[in-house]
Structures are given as C-alpha cells and as structure tokens.
Amino acid sequence: MNATSTSTSTSTAADAALLSSTPVLSSTAEAVAAARAYAASIADGAIARDRAGAVPYQELAALDASGLLGITVPAAHGGPELSPVVLAEVIRTIAAVDPAIAQIPQAHFLFVDVLAVHGSREQQRRLFADVLAGARLGNGLAERGGKHAQDLKTRLQAAPSGSALRLDGRKYYCTGAISARWIGVSALDDADRLVLAFVDRHAPGVTIDDDWNVMGQRATVSGTATFDRVPVDPGLVIPYASAFEVPQQLGARSQLVHTAIQVGIAGGALRDAREFVRTKARPFFEATRAGWADTAAADPHTIHRFGQLATRVCAAEALLAAAAATLAEVTRFPRDAEAAARGSIAVAEAKAFASDTAVEVASDLFSLAGASAADERYDLSRHWRNARTHASHDPVDWKYHHVGNYLLNDTLPPNHGQL
C-alpha cells in the first residue's frame, strides 16, 4: 500500500477544522498536563498499534491538535519557547505509554530548532505559524544504499523554468512523513552543498510508502519517501551545511528527544513488570516450599532484582533531567565550542545509559514475571523490541567513546547532527 501526495486518510477540510482549535500551551504545567492527558488517551490502544504496524492517523491527529507540537516555538513568533526540560518530560511521558508515537515528532522538534537558529524571518513567520496551528514537520533525512545513512543522493536543482527548484531522490526512515503537513528533506544542491528543503506533504511528485516492516517501533511507519521532480519554493530552503560549521546544539537537542524515548520505554517496561508480578505471576516453587513467599511479589530474589531495575530507571530519569537542564543553560545558541560540547556530552551520557537501561529492563521483565509473561496475549515483548529497534539507529558505543575521550583527553566531540 502506498500513500501518495493525493490520497490521505482525512480530508483537507477536516484537517483545517481540527487545526483551527489547536491551543498554545504557554507554561510548563500546561504542557506536562497535556502530555499526561494525551498519553492516557492512547494507552489502551498501544498493544493493538504494535500488532497492526499501521499508521495511527487518529492518534496523530489528536497529537497535532493538542498544542504539544508548538511548545518549543520561539516567543518572538508567538510560541511559548518552553525549555528542553519540559520537552524531555513531555516525550518521556508519551513514550512510557507508546514510544512509537513519541518518536514521530522527533524530527519535528529538530526542524523547529533549525528554523529558530538558521531560518530566515520569512521562513520562521510562515512555518512557525503552521506549527502553532498544529502542523507537524515530518522526517526526510536518511537514505539507504550508500556507505551510510547520510551518504546522500537526493538532489535539489534549479528547474528548467528557472522560477523554482526541483527535488529528486528517495529517502528511508521517514518517521512521521506519511501524515505530516511539511517534510524536511536533506539534499545536495547544484554546488554539492547540504541543504534542507521544506516540502509540502501533498505536493505533486511526493509519494510516501508504508513499507515499514520491523520488529519494533512499528507505529512510526518510518518507511520510504520518494520525491520525483517535486517543485520546491526557494524561500523554503535552508543552507544546512552551515549549521554544522559553528558551535551548535541541534544534535544534542535532537538526541535529547531520543533519550527521553528510551527512558520512557524503561519506565513503561518497569511499570508493566510490576503489574504482572503483583497480579498474575506465581512465586518460584522453592520460595514457597521454604516458606519465604506465597506470592511472586514476596519472592526475595524478585524483590532484589526489581529494586535494582527500579534504581537504574530512576538513574536514567535523573540523567535525562540533568542533560535537559544543561541544554537549557547552553541554549540554542552556545557561546563557543566548549559550551556546545558540554551540552552534547551531557546528552550522550544520558542517551547511552538510557538505551542500555531500556534494553535491560525490557529483557529482565521476563525474569521477574516468569514464563506466563511470554504469552503473546500480553504483548510484553514490545518493550524489548521497541528499545532494541530504537537504539539500533544510534550505537551507544560511539556515545561512550565521545564521553570518555572528552573526559579523559579533553577532546571535543564531533560537530554533527547526532551528538
């Protein structure tokens, strides 16, 4: 099944009506409350979405209308410009219920940052107004087939008419693009310089496929986007290469969202382990025969291991909060390379630890809950599948390497979009 530029699940009129009532969440309390309410509203469908692997149009429409997409829009453009601390908590809250849906706006928040730092006044005026109205920015950054995901073949070239630009290429891992309003697409221009073009999701020549067939994070539907002679407004192109020629926090702020997703997965797995042990699991027969436990929750080994995992989750949450606070201090405009490095390293520490913790908790859930927890009706394996799938795109060993090199050898981390 393909979702082309002209076939969508809802009508344009319906989208417009939905977006017209999108609130601006002007405080931390409002944003966190909205995230909790939204997470609660999608909780019951998490297992069904994982099993289906289909585009969660209804849930994403509710996210778009919630006001959460606008929380980092600069105040100068009518947004609340809430801090990374708030963003991290919003994403963690949603990810604890459904990390696939929590991942869908990851690129959205990155592109808001890109616009805030490198966008022209007209780009900011135009796109921030859309974002505050509930428009979501989808991901068109990575590609398959090259030496690595950023070995780009997509080109943005002058059209023969000379009045517009033309985009040609094929992207993958296009999280959120299938239901977005705009897609941020990385490409090389006529001078082989990296640019970022914002493309109307419904522009002629845009085709989004739902060819996402993976073991975890299924509801992200992060499949293929094809751009065939797509007309691009020159006014919606950002010279993206220059973003990484100066000290920046785009990579760190983007990775903060990924960190919050992993922390949310860890917390969600621990929550479900607790519930299963308390209500469904049985104690090991040796514990019962020895008179140590009549319930699984009273088994001394279960208590000990649960305490260890709970402590690791608390540590991951603390590292996430600390990293977010560091980014708030450094701001979107780090004063120098050392300040940018502090932000990047703080997030790298949190991200690496959170990824390890999420995988560990999601796996040890079954050690705590016993064989009955492997029954597919409970779908508890989704926690491990989500954690492992999400972490596989960003190896933790590189995070630990840069942390160690910075702390041991005073070597600044590389200046790119994943750190």
- pLDDT tens for the chain, 419 residues long, are 454 443 343 334 445 444 558 999 999 999 999 999 999 999 999 999 999 999 999 999 999 999 999 999 999 999 999 999 999 999 999 999 999 999 999 999 999 999 999 999 999 999 999 999 999 999 999 999 999 878 899 999 998 777 789 999 999 999 999 999 999 999 999 999 999 999 999 999 999 999 999 999 999 999 999 999 999 999 999 999 999 999 999 999 999 999 999 999 999 999 999 999 999 999 999 999 999 999 999 999 999 999 999 999 999 999 999 999 999 999 999 999 999 999 999 999 999 999 999 999 999 999 999 999 999 999 999 999 999 999 998 899 999 999 999 999 999 999 999 99
pLDDT of 140 reads 98
Cα–Cα distance measured from residue 344 to residue 254, given in angstroms and rounded to the nearest whole number: 10
**Nearest in space to 81 (alpha carbons), one of 245, 253, 320:** 253
Cα–Cα distance measured from residue 396 to residue 401, given in angstroms and rounded to the nearest whole number: 9
pLDDT of 372 reads 96
**Long-range pairs of 85-88 with CB within 8 A, sequence gap ≥ 24:** 85/28, 85/321, 85/324, 85/325, 85/328, 86/28, 86/31, 86/32, 87/253, 87/256, 87/257, 87/260, 87/324, 88/256, 88/257, 88/259, 88/260, 88/320, 88/321, 88/323, 88/324
- Say if residue 35 is exposed, middle or buried (CB neighbours under 10 Å; 0-12, 13-18, 19+): buried
- Say if residue 109 is exposed, middle or buried (CB neighbours under 10 Å; 0-12, 13-18, 19+): buried
DSSP state of 195: E
pLDDT of 406 reads 98
End-to-end CA distance of the chain: 35
Contact yes or no for 400/347 (Cβ under 8 A): no
Q: Which tens digit of pLDDT belongs to each residue from 307-334?
A: 999 999 999 999 999 999 999 999 999 9
Phi, psi of 335 (to 5 degrees): -70, -25
Antiparallel, parallel or unpaired: β 2-4 and 206-209: antiparallel
pLDDT of 8 reads 40
Q: Which amino acid is at 138?
A: G
Contact yes or no for 105/69 (Cβ under 8 A): yes
Cα–Cα distance measured from residue 309 to residue 315, given in angstroms and rounded to the nearest whole number: 10
β-partners of residue 226 are: 170, 207
pLDDT of 7 reads 37
**Nearest in space to 99 (alpha carbons), one of 222, 253, 261:** 261
pLDDT of 163 reads 72
pLDDT of 159 reads 82
pLDDT of 30 reads 98
pLDDT of 1 reads 46
**Nearest in space to 260 (alpha carbons), one of 97, 140, 395:** 97
Cα–Cα distance measured from residue 107 to residue 336, given in angstroms and rounded to the nearest whole number: 25
